[in-house]
Amino acid sequence: MTEPTIPPTPPNHETPVADAEENRRQVLYWRLLARLFDQDEQPALESASLGVVEDLGLPPALLDPQVGVDAIVQRHPELAGEFDGLMVPDDAGAEDGTRDRAAEVRRAALVSKLLLNVYATGSGPVGAGQLARWQADAGWLERALGCRPGELRGGRGPSAGSGGAQGIGPELGSIEADLVKRMHLREVLADPKLAAQLTPSMSLIEQLLRDKHNLSGVALANAKALIRRFVDEVAEVLRTQVAKATAGTLDRSVPPKRVFRNLDLDRTIWKNLTNWSPEEERLYVDRLFYRHTARKTTPQRLIVVVDQSGSMVDSMVNCTILASIFAGLPKVDVHLIAYDTRAIDLTPWVSDPFEMLLRTNLGGGNDGPVAMAMARPKITDPADTVMVWISDFYEFDRSQPLFEAIEAVHRSGVKFIPVGSVTSSGRQEVNPWFRERFKALGTPVISGHIRKLVHELKTFLA
């Protein structure tokens, strides 16, 4: 990077105050960009930035990427309040429309510190101290965006009022995953204190699932604890969506159960008003009325086939959890099959997504016909069967046999739902060859967002 030239600042009587403050702010941001894209210091920018920071009365440690925000706040507690909500947009502004240029320069110095510490992670091996410091700095960045520490990295999305936090969560999760990878995951997991500070995310779960056969003892216990935390968090969200989607309609052909909790008190009083005795001021009840609570349900079979190749880990995790939730519904018989070049029937563990995930083997290629050979015998009543197939459908010269098998299943009366992926973001990539044929078959690939899949399933199962 060519070292930029910092123009000399004329005396104050020749330069308007607003321009001077703007120049100081630009110096800080140019210095930030230089450090983010080039690890070598730019002497002119460093010295100019140091002068700005000292003039503001801020500690020079703000310019040192090796010093964490925790250390700065410990020495200068008054700065903690300034970091909180620092990057939340302020719509109020000054009443007369003017800008506080000096305050903008101060804000630029603090923002630069957060961005540099979080995004400039360098390369090469990572130590436990560096990972812990980055996690703390990422927490401060989340607080600056109006979120709780760990909220964005955990994939739960920004809270209300967090403004510019949209889209930052996945980036922070990717950076943390890279740091963990460079540190060697096993070393992190072997330290209970450090492992407890990890924020469960899809990228981290993927690494845990890939490396689970190489873990033992404390490291394996910590890995399982992280997977279970993530599973429980996702399951709670999905369980709410499924509960809303599968209420069904009241079945009035079934007499209401005559128990106290079903007693319709208002209707009972209304229907017995003719039995009111004015002399005794007493209502005689000769008939009780109860509410209908039975829902219309039909025995259904749900067969979920999910591609567990390396590109589909997000789908694998979400679908195992979703299958376990539907397995808990009355009169829904759920079967789950995972495949790469081989297929595995996970149905015996379908009620426990944690155990299912531990039995998966991520990676490898795709062989859809092998999975179909295992799934097809599970179809006993096509009209009451839905088959969900989650894959990117890149089949390595096995496309035609798979599509012919899918077409036959669809023609038999099975409700076939092809899904490109099941992710929290809804991103998907599907083999165009399959996409066009599914569309012509009348079974277009649905959006990859998991809410779409829940909606499709509830329509069939309700």
Both 138 and 96 in one domain: the answer is: yes
What tens digit of pLDDT does each residue of 83-98 get? 988 888 775 555 555 6
Q: What is the spatial distance between Cα 182 and Cα 312, in angstroms, rounded to a whole number?
A: 23
Residues 216, 160 within the same domain: yes
Q: Tens of pLDDT along 195-226?
A: 888 877 766 777 777 777 778 889 888 888 88
- Range in 29-43, 103-117, 336-350 the model is least confident about: 29-43
User: Does some domain include residue 237?
Assistant: no
Residue 418 lies in a domain: yes
Residue 54 and residue 306: Cα distance in Å, rounded?
Answer: 58
412 and 353 share a domain? Answer: yes
- Range in 20-24, 138-142, 152-156, 238-242 the model is least confident about: 152-156
In a domain, 8, yes or no: no
403 lies in some domain: yes
The yes-or-no verdict on residue 379 having pLDDT over 90 is yes
Burial class (CB in 10 A: 0-12, 13-18, 19+), 292: middle
pLDDT tens-digit map of 275-306: 888 888 888 888 888 886 655 554 588 898 98
Q: Quick check: is 242 in a domain?
A: no
Assess whether 217 and 179 both reside in one domain.
yes
Domain co-membership, 308 together with 289: no
Which pLDDT score is estimated for 160?
40
Comparing 149 with 423, the larger pLDDT belongs to 149
Average model confidence (pLDDT) across the chain: 78
Identify the domain containing residue 287 by its residue range: 250-294
Closest-CA residue to 54 (of 2, 105, 125, 126): 105
What string of DSSP letters covers 341-409?
SSEEE-GGGTT-HHHHHHT----S---HHHHHHHHGGG-S-GGGEEEEEES----SS-HHHHHHHHHHH
The verdict on 169 and 38 lying in the same domain is yes
Q: Check pLDDT > 80 for residue 388.
A: yes
Q: Are 403 and 320 in contact (CB under 8 A)?
A: no
Q: Are residues 335 and 353 in the same domain?
A: yes
Q: What is the CATH number of the domain that holds 360?
A: 3.40.50.410
Q: Mark out the alpha helices in 160-264 (DSSP H runs).
A: 168-183, 185-189, 192-196, 202-211, 217-245
Evaluate the CA torsion angle 223, 226, 232, 238 in order and state its sign.
negative
Among residues 183, 199, 232, which one ends one of the domains? Answer: 232
Same domain, 91 and 186: yes
0.75 surpassed by pTM? no
Domains held by the chain: number: 3
pLDDT at 428: 57
CA distance 421 to 388: 11
Q: Mean pLDDT throughout 329-339? A: 83
- Residue 245 placed within a domain: no
Same domain, 43 and 164: yes
Q: Is residue 188 scored above 60 in pLDDT? A: yes
Residue 41 — pLDDT band, cuts 50, 70, 90? low
Of the spans 115-119, 289-293, 394-398, 430-434, which averages the highest pLDDT? 115-119
pLDDT at 161: 43
My answer on whether 130 and 255 are in the same domain is no
> Does 405 fall in a domain?
yes
List, in order, residues 6 or more apart from 407 with CB less than 8 Å away: 441
Among 338, 460, 459, 334, CA closest to 390: 338
In a domain, 240, yes or no: no
Residues 227 and 261 in one domain: no
Q: Which two tokens stand for residue 12?
A: 């104050």
Q: Are residues 255 and 312 in the same domain?
A: no
Identify the DSSP state of 336: E
